[in-house]
Structure 1
Amino acid sequence: MGQVKITERELNRATLGRQLLLERAPVGVAEGVRRVVAVQAQHGGSAYLALWNRLVGFDPAEADGVFARREVVKATLMRITLHAVHAEDYRVFREAMQPTLYAARLGSRTGLPPAEVRELVPGLLEFAAEPRSGAEIRRWLEERVGEAAREGAWWGLRGYAPLHHHPTGGPWSFGERPSYVAAGGGPVAGGKEGVPGALERLVLRCLAAFGPASVADVAQFAMVRRAPVRRVLRELADGAVERLEGPGGVELFDVPGAVRPDGDAPAPPRLLGMWDSVLLAYADRSRVIPAEYRRVVIRANGDVLPTLLVDGRVAGVWRPVEGGIEAAAFHELPAAVWEALAEEARSLHALLAARDPWLYRRYAHWWAKLPAGRARLLPG
């Protein structure tokens, strides 16, 4: 029997379904984060917008609470960027990322030999048993490596050491001046090689929340090398994962029994925040972003703009303005779609008005550099 074939549209619906974007889920924040595996948290407000898009009756105060209690934690993880993950997932994700973080963060930029930086980790974690500001940690480091090496050492350690971001207050729990606290459990073992079994567990969680996916997609999701991902998937293909044939004959992998909605399943419009995970979790992003729009919404410097999702795919961008949300579509949209976007915008405007009405203001310069679109004010 040949492999099951899956179309690009079916891939789109699988992604949206597992990311709770076909239908908001009636679950709490901690369980919602667990289901989608990881929420991009590079911008504090974006994590809240991701949850608003995915959960029925999302209450930002509940998100404040799970962050304060560390039921959901924010840390440097996949793609060497900040993610919010369920506390029970953190350790294995961090163990799986060990080789990537070692290579990326303990290299020449620290100005110190990698072994010397690693030797600082146990002491740093002891110092950060209670929340510490970046300034406090710099002073601690200066006492040990000197002023000249302090900044390089901290650059490496704040990505490599198992540290959580501690809530600092403000509209989105985490402000622009982070505070750090030890993750617990001590340093991560494994050095350059990582912890046995950790990558396998991360791969399975990736497939459950973002599959079906190719070797390249899984490697992109975490930013790990393709060779170990390929090895893991080949070993798991004996029963823990199944193989499918994707568009163009690409080999895809998925967890057995995972729901794959029909390609005709309705996908309601959504207003995604900056850096939403569905826009970044794949090497081949065409399942969500039309090729002609990829460079428009994912800028050369890494900024990923807030987007309109229409029929499951990027169709424009949005920004908060006085009185509501301004939405600019890249192509004509039916009246019914505009009505659905307006309903979403009223809910989003209420969320922002109570927290941060000018979310993403610092990125406003991108608006003037976008191609001409069909802009509308969606009143709050």
Structure 2
Amino acid sequence: MKLTAQELNRSTLARQLLLRRETLGVGEAVRRVVALQAQQAASPYLALWNRLADFDPAELDAAFTGHAVVKSTLMRITLHAVHADDYRAFHEAVQPSLRAARLNGRFTTASGLTVEDADALLPELLAFADRPRTTPEYEAWLGQRLGVPPKPEAWWGLRHYAPLLHAPTTPPWSFGHRPSYVAAPTRPVLANPEVSAQSLQKLILRYLGGFGPASVADVAQFALVQRGRVRNALQTLAENLERLEGPGGEELFDVPGAPRPDEGTQAPPRLMAMWDSTLLAYSDRSRLIPPDYRKLVIRVNGDVLPTLLVNGYVAGVWRPAQEGIEVTAFHHLPDETWEQLAAEARLLTAFLADREPHVYRRYAHWWRKLPSAQTRLLPGK
């Protein structure tokens, strides 16, 4: 079966709860969408606001506090919020990448911390992390164990590789600029290739359920794992997967029974969070981002601006303004679409009012580098 680009787009929107706001609890919603990129503390909240009817951010606060949803370094060696039941398998699946980049990486080795040191220290580190502790506390502990004050890169490498969770610290979005870390209650198995291979299969099934259909390259991009590992896992899973053909003839994989809406399915406008996972989950980013706009929304340092989706595709960017939401469209939008965006802007302004009305303010410098485009201030009331 051959799928069109529009059918792939609608499949993603359906599985990512972006065709309509769903009535779900926070835990189930996070499980459904697989992972919410979380290096900016507000983004998981805005991601769920886009996806859930009557979303109450206090429910996500409680989920983080109770470790029903956890935040940790996982796929693409960056911070994600995931359902607690997924954490162990996800960590085990991406461990080879974490280990290579953070224990064998040049920054860690330059610190004087060897891989052998790290392996020996990990059991004691996790015992020390029995409650939330700050970076200075961990660095002091590491200095005692090594006998010399460690370079910052030593803790940097350990904290990304070890099964540590970010512990909630401060409002307005549960996590502040000075993170605390605590050992994961469910401990992944470390440095075991067989376990990692089995867990990669679980990650792939979860990924296809939330983002599929997808290619080998898409899976590898999402998780940042070697394509050879992905191919081996897909070969093992072959009897349980559907094989499809993408618009360019590429082989795609999917889980049976997952939604694949008709390409004519209507997609409402959305004001998306920074680094929304849907924009970064594929090797072929054109599933949601028109190629001409990719460099506009994904900046040279990796910042992914808060975007607007129109008919399922990125059509511009947004940022809070004094009286509402400023929207910059990269192409002409009809009046009806502007009216729909204005309704979203009123909802978003109200949502941010009690938390952080000028969220993402520190990234405003990127707007000076955008080309001239159609910009409107959408009032918050």
- TM, length-normalised to structure 2: 0.97
Q: 1:373 to 1:214 in 2, by over 3 A?
A: same
For residue 102 of structure 1, the aligned residue among 78, 99, 103 is 99
Matches within 5 A, 1:66-85: 66-85=63-82
- Indicate the residue corresponding to 1:142 in structure 2: 143
- Indicate the residue corresponding to 2:262 in structure 1: 262
- Indicate the residue corresponding to 1:342 in structure 2: 342
The SS at the match of 2:82 is: strand
Tell me how far apart the structure 2 counterparts of residues 198 and 258 of structure 1 sit (CA, whole Å). 21
- Indicate the residue corresponding to 1:64 in structure 2: 61
The SS at the match of 1:75 is: strand
- Indicate the residue corresponding to 2:35 in structure 1: 38
Which whole-Å deviations, capped at 9, do the CAs of 1:306-361 have from their partners, x for residues lacking one? 00100000000000010100000000001110011111111111111110011111
Matches within 5 A, 1:216-227: 216-227=217-228
Which whole-Å deviations, capped at 9, do the CAs of 1:6-29 have from their partners, x for residues lacking one? 000000000000000011110011
Question: Structure 1: which 5+ residue stretches go unaligned?
Answer: none
Aligned-partner residue type, residue 228 of structure 1: R
Contact 1:98 1:192 in 2 (8 A): no
Contact 1:245 1:252 in 2 (8 A): yes
Tell me how far apart the structure 2 counterparts of residues 124 and 169 of structure 1 sit (CA, whole Å). 24
1:309 aligns with 2:305: no
Tell me how far apart the structure 2 counterparts of residues 20 and 97 of structure 1 sit (CA, whole Å). 25
Deviation of 1:33 (Å): 0.2
Contact 2:279 2:288 in 1 (8 A): yes
Aligned-partner residue type, residue 161 of structure 2: Y
- Indicate the residue corresponding to 1:117 in structure 2: 118
Deviation of 1:113 (Å): 1.6
Deviation of 1:119 (Å): 1.2
- Indicate the residue corresponding to 1:205 in structure 2: 206
Question: Structure 2: which 5+ residue stretches go unaligned?
Answer: none
1:182 aligns with 2:183: yes
Deviation of 1:179 (Å): 0.6
Tell me how far apart the structure 2 counterparts of residues 147 and 173 of structure 1 sit (CA, whole Å). 34
Matches within 5 A, 1:247-286: 247-286=247-286
1:321 aligns with 2:321: yes
Q: How many residues align?
A: 376
Deviation of 1:192 (Å): 6.1
Which whole-Å deviations, capped at 9, do the CAs of 1:218-250 have from their partners, x for residues lacking one? 000100000010111122122x11110001101
- Indicate the residue corresponding to 1:377 in structure 2: 377
Contact 1:213 1:252 in 2 (8 A): yes
Q: Which stretch shifts more, 278-287 or 106-115?
A: 106-115
Runs of 4 or more above 2 Å deviation: 146-150, 184-196
Contact 1:327 1:375 in 2 (8 A): yes
Contact 1:217 1:284 in 2 (8 A): yes
Which whole-Å deviations, capped at 9, do the CAs of 1:33-84 have from their partners, x for residues lacking one? 0000100111000110001001111001111111111100000001000000
Identity within the alignment, %: 63
- Indicate the residue corresponding to 1:91 in structure 2: 88
Contact 2:88 2:187 in 1 (8 A): no
Q: What is the RMSD computed on CA atoms of the aligned residues?
A: 1.2
Tell me how far apart the structure 1 counterparts of residues 358 and 217 of structure 2 sit (CA, whole Å). 37
Tell me how far apart the structure 2 counterparts of residues 54 and 200 of structure 1 sit (CA, whole Å). 27
Aligned-partner residue type, residue 214 of structure 1: S
Deviation of 1:285 (Å): 0.7
Q: 1:138 to 1:299 in 2, by over 3 A?
A: same
- Indicate the residue corresponding to 2:14 in structure 1: 17
- Indicate the residue corresponding to 1:166 in structure 2: 167
Q: 1:18 to 1:187 in 2, by over 3 A?
A: closer
Which whole-Å deviations, capped at 9, do the CAs of 1:250-297 have from their partners, x for residues lacking one? 110000111100000000000001100010000001110000000110
- TM, length-normalised to structure 1: 0.97
Tell me how far apart the structure 2 counterparts of residues 325 and 267 of structure 1 sit (CA, whole Å). 21
Tell me how far apart the structure 2 counterparts of residues 241 and 210 of structure 1 sit (CA, whole Å). 14
Tell me how far apart the structure 2 counterparts of residues 332 and 279 of structure 1 sit (CA, whole Å). 22
Tell me how far apart the structure 2 counterparts of residues 193 and 109 of structure 1 sit (CA, whole Å). 28
- Indicate the residue corresponding to 1:235 in structure 2: 236
Deviation of 1:152 (Å): 2.2
- Indicate the residue corresponding to 1:53 in structure 2: 50
Tell me how far apart the structure 2 counterparts of residues 24 and 130 of structure 1 sit (CA, whole Å). 36
Deviation of 1:194 (Å): 5.2
Tell me how far apart the structure 2 counterparts of residues 35 and 119 of structure 1 sit (CA, whole Å). 37
Contact 1:77 1:93 in 2 (8 A): yes
Q: Which stretch shifts more, 184-193 or 11-20?
A: 184-193
Aligned-partner residue type, residue 86 of structure 2: D
Tell me how far apart the structure 1 counterparts of residues 150 and 170 of structure 2 sit (CA, whole Å). 31
Aligned-partner residue type, residue 216 of structure 2: V
Contact 1:131 1:181 in 2 (8 A): yes
Deviation of 1:135 (Å): 1.1
- Indicate the residue corresponding to 1:291 in structure 2: 291
Aligned-partner residue type, residue 331 of structure 1: H
